[in-house]
Structure formats: structure tokens, C-alpha cells
Amino acid sequence: MTTNGLYIWHKDNLQAATNGTWQGEFNKKSVKITTDTRIIKQGDIFLAIKGDNFDGHAFIDVAQEKGAVAVIVDTVVDSKLPQLIVGDTKKALGLLGQYRRNEHHDLTVVALTGSSGKTTTKEMIGSILGLIAPTLITRGNLNNDLGVPMMLLELTDEHRFAVMELGANHVGEIAYTSGLVRPDVACVLNIGTAHLGEFGGRTNIAKAKSEIYSGLTADGVAVVPFGDEFFEFLGESASGFTDQILTFGETKIPIEQADLSDEDVQTLFEQGVTSVLMMGDLFADDIDITPTGSTFTLNTNLEIDEIESLLVSLPFVGEHNVANALAAATCAYALGVPLDLIVRGLEKATPPKGRLTRIAFGEHTLIDDTYNANPTSMIAAAKVLEQEDLVKILVLGDIFELGDVADDEHHRLGQDLAMLAVDEIFGLGTHMAQMVRGANEIRAIATHFNDKSDLLNALKSRLQEAKTAVLFKGSRGMKMETLIEHLMSHR
């Protein structure tokens, strides 16, 4: 049942979704279920979540004052509002999201995960599918076991597509959320080192990310990164749920592993060739990276009569975003979207805030990549900075969620960054001291800071010396964007 395209919740479907028991008579209808009393409005239903540091059951009186018409709770509470007793409101939230998705029979879902690039790729896919029909896209970081069902509750009848970002900080979480969204296309972008501390190694990260394929039916399509170190593992995982697998990107393999005759292999060996470049089902060629974007040809490598190849002018900087665009294109291609429409969607996409956003600062350029960070994305960001014609300074904050290997990962990161064409690196935070040590072992270019004020003073001094491009990046908890805000407000 809907009104103006909004799904209507009432006594019967709430009970059917959650297997709950009503306490008090509920004869009203509502179009919104919310877990946050700060945004609750007249006519909403309040679902009280109990977290590690809060308990929504303590705010039921606030919900009533703001106009809630019913509450969903673990156990009976002291309230005049009708109560749906569910035993576990976290579980009930998932059931409600799943019920809403199942009730939307004319919906096609793309789900994606990966160690980096999820937010950007999600926006690219949404831009493509949005050219065809209204599309729901995961907002912000609502990609976990609570955020995913919250997004499903935002579905309206006008939506024909949903692009759902699935994240995880423990094994089993993506299997759970993939089961809720029931994707028609499921994609793993890459396997990196994000959340390394929580998973205890990249192999476990790969296992966790591969859970996304478990939500597919035999009619679904799995999208797999061809050049990733865990490609074979991901492909095998996907094949347990569907035979329809598309790949994107490219990889080098030893020539003895290629599908070549012994004679060809011998000839190549004599020519000094030891590997060959293999292409996925969709791949990029003729890549040209500039400080403001990139161009490349988008090619298909499928067994069809005519190989397609179209030029893309991508308004995203960095070669890593070409890989993200390939993943987005492959997800859309899996749904039968024509290549020319995919290109239009990619070219219309806009980078999310804090994702390599360029800001003019007098004669300098500030690059805001402060949304989040992991070692892989920091290297990718540094390669973007390399494209600048100005003096190049990296301002980096600690990377979180690396566990016991945090110092080792930061040290290795510093060594890798020092091999790139950047002029100076400022490191902020406890772990960044190890990044600075690693970088200076290669080149004396890095300085460590314990607080933002000292870093800002040093940076302002550098900006007086030459035209400079400064890239800011760090984990969300470091709030590196405050450095940019300070510079802009004191210019």
C-alpha cells in the first residue's frame, strides 16, 4: 500500500515484517520509520535502537512529544504510545528493510563493496542509472548492518533502481546486508588494507568482501576485478552463486600461463618478453590523466560480433578513478545498459565532497581528499598530486583500523610515498610518526607534527615561498578538513 509513491506502514505489515507483538491498539498509518529522535516528525514511527554507547529506549518520551504515533521496542516500556514488541530492535530494523525491498517488485539493485572507491563508484553508477529512471543511492556512510536497512526504508514506488554500498568491519556483515538487498548485480571493487586490524589480514578481507555474492540468485551477475590479487578467489566465490560473471580491468600474467602455442611462447622468450597483458570483459585504453580529470577509451572484450569502444571524458582526477569508472560501467553493462548511455552517465557524474575536490586558494591549489583514508587510497591520492605543476605538499593524518600492524603499514606507506614525485610530506598523528620515519629513510622530505596548530604554522610558511598544491587526507576521525576550513577562514 502506498500514497503519493510513499510506502504506508500499518499494524499488519509492521507485525508481518518483524514477527512482533502489539501492546496497545495501533489504528493509524505512517510513511516513515526512524531511529533518530532529532529528526522525528509528526506521524512517524520511532524504532528504539540499543547501541554500545546509547539506548534509544531512553528517548521514547521525546519521540512522543515530537509526534511519533507508535514505537518499536525490545520489551514493554512505560509509554502511552502503541508499542510493537520485537525482542531485538536491531534485528527488527533489518527485517523491516528486507520486507520493504521484497514489497518493491519493480526494483533492480546493484550492490558494491571493496576496500576503496565505494563512494565514488556508487555515485558513478547512480549517475548512469539515473539517466534511465529514478535511482536510490546510499547516502553518506549508511553501508553497515544498520545503515543498509535504513536506506531500504527510503525506497519509494518511483524508484526503479537502487545502488547499495555495503561495508563491513567484521566477517558475516556483508553476507547479512547482501541478503537484505538481494542484488541483481553484485560487485567487488578491490581488496586492499582498509580495516586490516579488524580482519587480521587481506585474505580475511577478501573472504568478507566476497560475501556480497551470496545475495545473488542464479539470474544475478557477479562483477569481479580482473587485475586484483584476489581475482581467482573472488571468481570462485561468485561462481558458487551464479554462472554469470563479468570482469573489469587488466592484468599481466607470465607468458607460459597464457593461451599461446609452445612456438609462440618460445618466440616471445627469445624476444625478452616474459609476460602478456590480459584484458577483462570491460577495460580502459589510451588513458590520459590531467590535474582536473581524465580521458580514456571504454572497451568491451566480449565474444560478440562487434567490439565496442567509446571515448570517455571523466570529470574525476586520478588513474584510480578510471578503475572505479570501469567497475561502474561493468555494473551497468551487466544490466544491459548500452555503452553510449554508460559513457553519458560517467561524464555527468560529480565527485562527492571530500573526494579529491579542488579548491582555489589565491595562487595555490588545495585538494580536499579528507573523506577517509587507507594506505591504498593515500598512494592513489599522492599520484594525483604528482600531476600538478606547482610545488607539491602532502598533508596526511593517521590511518585508523589497521590494528597491530598500524605502525608497520604507516612505515611502509612513507617509503612508498617517498618514491613518488612529491616535494614535501607533513604527517599528523601518532602513527604518522612512522610514516615520516619511513619516508625519510628514502628521501628527507617528511616532517611530523603532534598538533594541527604547529602543522598549520609550518604550512602557511611554505605557502609564502612558492605557488603550491596541497593535498589533505586522513582517516575520518582525524578531521583533516578542519585544516582546510582554517586556511579558508583566515585567508
Q: Give the model confidence (pLDDT) of 199-237 as tens digits.
A: 678 899 999 999 999 999 999 999 999 999 999 999 999
Q: Residue 423's CB: how many other CB atoms inside 10 A?
A: 17
Start-to-end Cα distance in the chain? 55
Q: Give the sign of the dihedral formed by CA 278, CA 280, CA 281, CA 282.
A: negative
Q: 118 and 225 in contact (C-beta within 8 Å)?
A: no
Coil/strand/helix, residue 491: coil
Write the single-letter amino acid at 439.
Answer: A
Domain map (residue ranges) of the chain: 2-88, 104-248+280-348, 357-489
In angstroms, the Cα distances linking 152 to 96, 137, 159, 220, 244 are 9, 10, 11, 19, 26
Q: Which residues does 14 contact at the CB level (< 8 Å), separation at least 6?
A: 20, 26, 45, 70, 72, 84, 96
Q: pTM of the entire structure?
A: 0.88
Q: Which residues does 71 contact at the CB level (< 8 Å), separation at least 6?
A: 45, 46, 47, 48, 60, 63, 77, 79, 81, 82, 83, 84
Same fold, 2-88 and 104-248+280-348: no
pLDDT at 108: 98
Spatial distance between the Cα atoms of 37 and 442, rounded to a whole number of angstroms: 53
Q: Residue 320's CB: how many other CB atoms inside 10 A?
A: 22
Spatial distance between the Cα atoms of 176 and 157, rounded to a whole number of angstroms: 24
Low-confidence ranges of the chain (pLDDT < 50): none
Torsion of CA 324, 330, 332, 333, to 10 degrees: 160
Q: 280 and 269 in contact (C-beta within 8 Å)?
A: no
pLDDT at 34: 96
Using alpha carbons, select from 20, 25, 30, 117 the residue that is nearest to residue 73. 20
Q: Which residues does 391 contact at the CB level (< 8 Å), separation at least 6?
A: 423, 424, 462, 465, 466, 467, 468, 469
Domain 357-489 carries which CATH code?
A: 3.90.190.20
Q: 129 and 329 in contact (C-beta within 8 Å)?
A: no
Cell numbers linked to 207: 573472504
Spatial distance between the Cα atoms of 464 and 487, rounded to a whole number of angstroms: 13
Coil/strand/helix, residue 452: helix
Spatial distance between the Cα atoms of 218 and 216, rounded to a whole number of angstroms: 7
Q: 395 and 459 in contact (C-beta within 8 Å)?
A: yes
What topology is assigned to 2-88 in CATH? 3.40.1390
Coil/strand/helix, residue 198: helix
In angstroms, the Cα distances linking 20 to 50, 99, 138, 263 are 17, 14, 28, 70
pLDDT at 256: 74
Class of 104-248+280-348 in CATH:
alpha beta
DSSP string for 283-307: EEEEEEEETTEEEEEEEE-SSSSS-
Q: Residue 430's CB: how many other CB atoms inside 10 A?
A: 13
